[in-house]
Structure 1
Amino acid sequence: MHPLRAIGLTATAEDVYLALVQRDPTTPAALAGILRVPLDAVVEAARELTELGLVEPDDEGLVACPPRTALDALAEVRAKELGALRDSADELARFWRDHHAEGPGYIEIVRTDEAGEALVRRVQDEATHQVRALSIGPSGRLAAPPTVAPGCLEALARGVAYSVVYGTQVLRDPIGREAIQTCVNLGERARVFPDVALNLKICDDRFAVVAAPARDHQRRHHIAVQRSALLDGLIGVFESYWQMAVPLPAGDEPMDDVGAAPTDDARQLLTYLSGGLTDEFIARELGVSERTVARRIARLQEVLGAQTRFQLGVQASRRGWL
């Protein structure tokens, strides 16, 4: 369980904070020795933590601050980012309606499966630097199970950086999880967000391929977007999702079955949370420490793709866990 990595901090930053929580004020040099990492890595981690208000300097070194205030403030920022994401989606939709009828040169609509697959393959084959993607997986009742996109493994092998935000529905499919794990093992950075709205692949900063979900897979159209204000907007949409999404485990940490039913303890914990009970009360009722309660809550947030406890309750309710 990695509560700080789940909100985008580095592993070193998380280790530094946890070490400081258990110690008196400690110098960066001493922390570097304790954690067996380079001093400059500790200094950079301390900068990350200080910016979030989780660490502050002391006459004798660095000292950990209580996490609740700092992370509640971060949750507010992320909530505003989500609002900005929705506003961007509305603005892009208006932009699309204003320009689509005239058939601008920077947009190409592909109406056959074969042409759409060829367009997606171009992303993998032509990328020289990075591929950024949003993935809800195949859509429609006739859609095939999710698999590794053709050309993706070859692109990873030649050093193309992949950053992908997956919708939780992809992770509910064992075949989908296996495909994702294959890519993560080869270096893909993967995150999960509960409500990814469309399939999107961005090839470097040169062009993007968009495929909106459809009930009938045979009717799904792919849209290629070349360099334009619209492409810039799509890149911004991806970055907003990336900031709010939860990191998936690294290659040596197998993914859990996010579609599995909760344990009795997890269900009881969610019930207590929905009732607004404190961590202290929950810990006493479950017979565990408050730190264990916090870890379990953070893990449930990671599994359900929730950034806040409120979102955790919403996602648990949607799945019928409450």
Structure 2
Amino acid sequence: MLRTFGLDDLEENAYLSLLRLPASGESELAERLRRPAEEVSAVVDRLVRDGFVRQAGNRLVAAAPDVAFGPALLRRHGEIQRVQTFIATLMEEYRERSALRDSREVVEVVVGAAEVMARWQHLQRSAQQEVKCLVKAPIVFSDDNQAQKAAMAAGVVYRVVYERAMIDVPGDPHQLAWSAANGELMRIATFVPTKLMIFDERAAFVPSMSASVEPAALVITSGALLDVLNWVFETVWAGAVPFPATKNTLSPDDQRLLSLIIAGYTDLAISKQFGLSHRTVQRRVSQLIRSAGVETRLQLVWHAAKHDWL
């Protein structure tokens, strides 16, 4: 504890021993500390020299703690105040420079297909906990996202909101079935305002919205803009519909059918998704409503929410 004042362990033990009980001499102190007399004699000489111990007749007495350590504490306090003042000056300079800092330090512009793809893959590989995505057409990058597959295999959680138009396409060109089967948390929104990926809430990737111009993207790594993008994702996510439905008692086709109903699809739109006739879809919807023990689509949605079918 007293090392901060320059005392080693033996010197500290000698001072504390004398503070609790003065000694009649160095030999008594040596016996008390169970150390050689020569070693204790040298320690006492240093303590007396530095003002921690004094001779009172033939006795060794520890100086009062406030006398022994007070001056050093005052010096330290003065040093700390000077350092605090210096740090405050540095912080003021830092804030001024931050306000004038070129925005390119926090917003990186990436141009070119190869460069954008490399940056996109690198950010996914660097994620450790969570990747948040807003996805809408057109899809500029390859659907074979090996970096996402590797990240998900390593335990990174993907929360993804797809614009409704993405699942209007017959078949599964964007491999949504694979993503759902491998743990991607998926939701559907009628409208997604922008393409966006956020990695561990520390970096955001905003690709170009056009497939007709040279690929480009912004990488935002700090500041208010990153906070706004996190807010945009969470707002869209909160208003989106879970997809597909996850209740194990439903068949995969019924899970998908329920998800489309909740997403607001008409029977005609659902028939295009399933490749079935309009009449067949109407019959399957009616069967699903009956299996839930309700009478209308709205009641089906409430039943699905109440019984954790979402």
TM-score by length of 2: 0.49
Larger Rg: 2
TM-score by length of 1: 0.47
Query: Which structure exhibits the higher relative contact order, with contacts defined as CA atoms closer than 8 Å and separated by 6 or more residues?
Result: 1
